[in-house]
Amino acid sequence: MSYLSKTDPEIADIIEKERLRQTNGLELIASENLVSHAVLEAMGSIMTNKYAEGYPGKRYYGGCEFHDEAENLARDRLKKLFGAEYANVQPHSGTQANMAVYFAFMNLGDTLMSMKLTQGGHLSHGSPVSFTGKFYKVAQYSLDPKTEMLDYGTIEEMARKEKPKMLVCGASAYPRTIDFKAFQEIADSVGAYCMADIAHIAGLCATGVHPNSVGVVNFTTTTTHKTLRGPRGGAIMANAEYGPAIDKAVFPGMQGGPLMHTITAKAVCFEEALRPSFTEYNKQIVKNAKVLAETLMANGLRLVSGGTDNHLMLLDLTAQGITGLEAETALGKAAITVNKNTIPNETKSPFITSGLRVGTPAVTSRGMKESEMRMIGNWIATVVKDVKNEAAIRDVRAKVEAMAGKFPIYPE
């Protein structure tokens, strides 16, 4: 930050404070991760200087030959990583990836069927505050109230009743394995398309730690910055037959110039994800999540569905008599970053909530393993069981900072 510290010391100071926050604490937000030095360098490169509207070989500006090379590499690597016939790496986010698929294959007013937000779905899956809830008729399925897991028989019954144009699977807060084949079969039975949003579990899907949706459902969308450990952005994969319609929906349908520095960084991320070490990393994410979940439950805390199969877990804090907001705030004081989250059959607002979402991708990126998860689980339990005990919170924070110092974000 040598240039920035001279030209804009205020911003340089903010960035340094954020660096220290990440370095000295534990990031347990399930949708966050730590990118590599290589991804950081690509993101901050001169590739940001260029407009490259269009696609490789068909741009609206001159001088794009090297941006064509970078985007082609990103697409080819992503297809290899997931076994996809077609890929588009231009969406700026996961929501815009979803938007492109909807725009390509749905008309305004068509029925979109998806998981309810409070049950673990995502805003872009039909929430009334999202464009999806405004543009489409929305039918939303819930989890089984007893198991707190997906009930494919009930989902099929709803699909037969609602006859959706698009059936969406995938979630932002679902700790269990998703049966993509079952969802596609339900969609086929009612003449619908099926889209899997694997934003959270993309790294797990790419490495076989979770079943892969690509080649199973009609469309797969993802972000690139969660378990894929890349820059913040989105991507779409599908069979080749759907490619032209998706390309048109992305550009010129909903975006102008692509962020070429981000696409270049996506290419770097996909190359890193093709390495054998990335598979081991994703296996460790799940091992860590299971141990963390077991530790929390051993401390008497209730987890939605009774555990986890992937990288995240949901704590139900009803028995503790506190809200997700109170727990998030107290854990933040202890340098443990999590997010308040709705739970199935939520009774509080999304700004308050009855639960916490906790995930292991970022701490796993730092090299932490099962023994550290046991300590972290005990620390979380200590705080959430007595959120007003400032002395206990200070003690946990000291232990967190001591551990964090042993696992640098960017080892020299």
Write down the pLDDT at residue 1. Answer: 84
Say how far apart CA 207 and CA 6 lie, in whole Å: 43
Check if 226 is active-site: yes
Give 37-63 pLDDT, tens digit per residue. Answer: 999 999 999 999 999 999 999 999 999
- The confidence band for 223, taking pLDDT boundaries of 50, 70 and 90, is very high
- Residue 177 falls in the annotated catalytic set: no
Q: How many CB atoms lie within 10 A of CB 391?
A: 8
Backbone angles phi, psi at 369, to 5 degrees: -130, -160
| Per-residue pLDDT at 237 exceeds 70 | yes
Rounded CA gap, 264 and 191, in Å?
Answer: 38
51 catalytic per annotation = yes
Query: In whole angstroms, what is the distance from residue 339 CA to residue 348 CA?
Result: 15
CA 37 remoteness from chain centre: 21
Find the catalytic residue in 51, 137, 144, 287.
Answer: 51
Domain residue ranges of the chain, discontinuous segments joined by +: 2-30+276-404, 41-273
Q: Is the pTM of this model over 0.85?
A: yes
* From 27, 148, 162, 197, the catalytic residue: 197
User: What number of other Cβ atoms are within 10 A of residue 11's Cβ?
Assistant: 12
- To the query of whether residue 395 is one of the catalytic residues in this protein, the response is no
Q: What is the pLDDT of residues 147-198, one digit of tens each?
A: 999 999 999 999 999 999 999 999 999 999 999 999 999 999 999 999 999 9
Q: Determine which one of 95, 118, 223, 295 is catalytic.
A: 223
Residue of 32, 53, 85, 386 marked active site? 53
Are the beta carbons of 170 and 205 closer than 8 angstroms? no
User: 2-30+276-404 belongs to which CATH class?
Assistant: alpha beta
- 232 assigned to active site: yes
Lowest mean pLDDT among 57-66, 255-264, 319-328, 403-412: 403-412
Indicate the helix (H) or strand (E) that contains 156: helix 152-162
pLDDT of 121: 86
Given pLDDT bands bounded at 50, 70 and 90, which one contains residue 345? confident
Task: Indicate if 80 belongs to the active site.
Answer: no
Q: Which fold has domain 41-273?
A: Aspartate Aminotransferase; domain 2 (3.40.640)
CB within 8 Å of 32: residues ≥ 6 apart: 225, 226, 359, 361, 362
**pLDDT band at 412; cut points 50, 70, 90:** low
In which band, very low, low, confident or very high, does the pLDDT at 306 lie, cut at 50, 70 and 90? very high
Read off the tokens for 411: 């080892």
Residues 6+ apart with CB under 8 A from 218: 184, 187, 193, 194, 195, 238, 239, 242
Q: Is the peptide bond before 252 cis (omega within 30 degrees of 0)?
A: yes
| Whole-number Cα distances in Å, 378 to 12, 36, 291, 304, 323 | 36, 29, 11, 18, 19
**Nearest by Cα to 264 from 112, 23, 68:** 68
Which of 70-79, 177-186, 346-355, 356-365 is the least confident region? 346-355
Q: Which of 232, 266, 340, 366 is catalytic?
A: 232
Give me the percent of the chain exceeding a pLDDT of 70. Answer: 100
User: Taking a C-beta distance cutoff of 8 angstroms, is the pair 51, 382 a contact?
Assistant: no
- Please say whether the beta carbons of 184 and 193 come within 8 A: no
pLDDT at 123: 84
What's 353's DSSP letter? -
Helix, strand or coil for residue 321? coil
Indicate whether 411 pLDDT > 90: no
**What pLDDT does residue 44 have?**
96
Place 259 in a pLDDT band, splitting at 50, 70 and 90: very high
Catalytic pick from 226, 229, 266, 357?
Answer: 226
Mean pLDDT calculated for residue range 205-227:
98
The mean pLDDT of the chain is 96
